[in-house]
């Protein structure tokens, strides 16, 4: 560990048995010397890390918008001011996903403004498509995504960026004291979160938060897998967790939305369930096939036992058929798991 104090440089090298300190005492003008600095106890790693300011890297903030008239302009100005306060180089990319209201007119005021880039989709292509298009246009390696509807506390973005040090993604988890999620959507979100947590083998406080900080190379790695719709955030979360990347969750508030939502609760919930299962099948197939195989085997045993008790004879055809289906399901899962593990490099960027 290197520290500087009053012109004295102290180098401390830890070994398993003891700490060895080397003190370098430089001369000063006038022929005198400074008093050597005697190092105190070495701080724990967590405390040392908190005293070190990470190198400031450039940030690209991406805001996908669709029919956000009346709020998009103020959001863009707010984000621009907040990013200037971080002291980092930044760019703000706003993607208009084929809005049919006054959103394009409001965004036209930012055309040519330094640090702000407005992209326009000729038709509505989807939340994920807009994010992916902006990622391809991004100049910086740190990617921040947020919404323009006033729901996320954008003033926390600087904090989330700083917390990216040492992890691969930071998610603003909507678990704070002030979370405005409609009651009708909470049961479905809870079930989806529990299903995803089981399949990913880790607790997921918020599966699809739209406020997060990511590393651009990781997005590029899973680019071919990321969908064009709202499930972009769900997919990138599961992709990173099933590949043992480090994801940090930070509790945030979630404000009431300004304007109307374009989410379709029933249809999108069914799509999310399908997406979760397909994503885990892609990365961790045994998480699906092994429980299914066990369930079929238990049904086979139950049919054999119940038929013997009720009719005095075993329903051998049904029991054997179910048992064979159990074995075949497990074999398919093992084969899929072997293929996944032998795939060189996983998902490649295209």
pLDDT tops 80 at residue 118: yes
User: Residue 331 is part of which domain span?
Assistant: 286-342
Q: Which of 237, 267, 283 is the last residue of a domain?
A: 283
Residues 318 and 275 in one domain: no
Q: Stretch 179-196: mean pLDDT, rounded?
A: 77
By C-alpha distance, which of 72, 71, 70, 79 is closest to 95? 72
Instruction: Let me know whether 299 and 268 are in one domain.
Output: no
Taking a C-beta distance cutoff of 8 angstroms, is the pair 293, 329 a contact?
yes
Quote the distance between the C-alpha of residue 150 and its chain's center: 20
Q: In what order do the strands lie in the sheet with 2-5?
A: 2-5, 8-14, 19-24
Q: What is the pTM of this model?
A: 0.70
Task: Say which residues have a Cβ less than 8 Å from residue 276's Cβ, sequence separation at least 6.
Answer: 192, 195, 196, 199, 234, 238
pLDDT of 276 over the 90 cut: no
Same-domain status, 140 and 196: yes
Number of domains forming the structure of the chain: 2
pLDDT attached to residue 342: 67
Asked if the structure places residue 255 within a domain, the reply is: yes
Name the average pLDDT for the chain. Answer: 80
Same domain, 258 and 293: no
- Single residue among 283, 305, 333 that ends a domain in this structure: 283
Q: Which of 238, 256, 283 is the last residue of a domain?
A: 283
- Same domain as 184, residue 172: yes
Q: Look at residue 38 and tell me if it is in a domain.
A: no
| Least-confidence region, from 136-145, 198-207, 294-303 | 198-207
Write the DSSP symbol of residue 27. B
Question: Is residue 123, in this structure, part of any structural domain at all?
Answer: yes
Q: Which long-range contacts (CB under 8 A, 24 or more apart) does 309-312 make?
A: none
- Six-digit token pair at 238? 């599961």
Residue 52 has pLDDT above 90, yes or no: no
Co-location of 193 and 306 in the same domain: no
- Who wins on pLDDT, 322 or 9? 322
Shared-domain flag, residues 270 and 303: no
pLDDT of residue 269: 67
Give the tens place of pLDDT for each residue, 311-340: 888 878 888 999 999 999 999 989 888 887
- Compute the average pLDDT of residues 177-199: 79
Residue 236 lies in a domain: yes
**Same domain, yes or no, for 209 and 332?**
no
Same-domain status, 183 and 107:
yes
């Amino acid at each position: 560990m290197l520290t500087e104090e009053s012109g004295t440089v102290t180098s401390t090298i830890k070994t398993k048995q003891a700490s060895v300190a080397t003190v370098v005492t430089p001369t000063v003008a006038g022929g005198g010397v400074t008093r050597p600095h005697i190092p105190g106890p070495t701080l724990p790693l967590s405390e040392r890390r908190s005293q070190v300011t990470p190198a400031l890297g450039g940030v690209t903030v991406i805001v996908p918008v669709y029919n956000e008239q009346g709020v998009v302009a103020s959001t863009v100005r707010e984000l621009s001011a907040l990013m200037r306060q971080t002291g980092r180089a930044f760019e703000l990319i706003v993607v208009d996903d084929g809005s049919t209201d006054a959103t394009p007119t409001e965004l036209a005021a930012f055309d040519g403004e330094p640090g702000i880039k407005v992209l326009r989709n000729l038709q509505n292509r989807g939340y994920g498509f807009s994010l992916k298009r902006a990622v391809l246009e991004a100049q910086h390696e740190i990617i921040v995504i947020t919404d323009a509807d006033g729901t996320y506390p954008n003033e926390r973005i600087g904090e989330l960026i700083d917390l990216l040090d040492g992890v691969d993604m930071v998610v603003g988890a909507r678990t704070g004291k002030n979370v405005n999620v409609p009651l009708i959507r909470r049961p479905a979100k809870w079930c989806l979160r529990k299903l995803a947590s089981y399949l990913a083998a880790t607790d997921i406080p918020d599966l699809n938060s739209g406020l997060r900080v990511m590393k651009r190379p990781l997005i590029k790695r899973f680019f071919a897998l990321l969908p064009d719709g709202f499930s972009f955030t769900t997919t990138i979360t599961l992709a990173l967790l099933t590949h043992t990347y480090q994801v940090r969750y930070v509790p945030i508030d979630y404000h009431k939305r300004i304007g109307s939502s374009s989410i379709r609760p029933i249809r999108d919930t069914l799509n999310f369930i399908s997406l979760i299962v397909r994503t885990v099948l892609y990365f961790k197939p045994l998480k699906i096939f092994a429980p299914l195989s066990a369930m079929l085997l238990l049904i086979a045993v139950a049919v054999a036992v119940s038929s013997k008790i009720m009719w005095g004879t075993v329903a051998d055809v049904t029991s054997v058929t179910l048992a064979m289906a159990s074995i075949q399901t497990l074999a398919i899962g093992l084969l899929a798991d072997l293929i996944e593990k032998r795939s060189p490099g996983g998902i490649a960027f295209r």
